[in-house]
Amino acid sequence: KAGVTQTPRYLIKTRGQQVTLSCSPISGHRSVSWYQQTPGQGLQFLFEYFSETQRNKGNFPGRFSGRQFSNSRSEMNVSTLELGDSALYLCASSSDQVGIDYGYTFGSGTRLTVV
Amino acid sequence: GESVGLHLPTLSVQEGDNSIINCAYSNSASDYFIWYKQESGKGPQFIIDIRSNMDKRQGQRVTVLLNKTVKHLSLQIAATQPGDSAVYFCAERRTGRRALTFGSGTRLQVQP
* Contact assignment for B103 to A104 by CB distance below 8 Å: no
pLDDT score for A1: 60
- CA-based nearest distance B96→chain A, Å: 11
Determine the Cα–Cα distance for residues B37 and B5; give it in Å rounded to an integer.
16
pLDDT in tens, B56-75: 999 999 999 999 999 999 99
* Contact assignment for B99 to A104 by CB distance below 8 Å: no
Determine the Cα–Cα distance for residues B51 and B41; give it in Å rounded to an integer.
29
Query: Chain A within 8 Å of B45 (Cβ-Cβ)?
Result: yes
pLDDT score for B94: 87
Higher pLDDT, B99 or A62: A62
Nearest beta carbon to residue B43 from set A50, A102, A109: A109
What is the full DSSP assignment across B60-112? SSEEEEEETTTTEEEEEESS--GGG-EEEEEEEEETT---EEE---EEEEEE-
* Contact assignment for B103 to A105 by CB distance below 8 Å: no
- CA-based nearest distance B106→chain A, Å: 12
Higher pLDDT, B78 or A28: B78
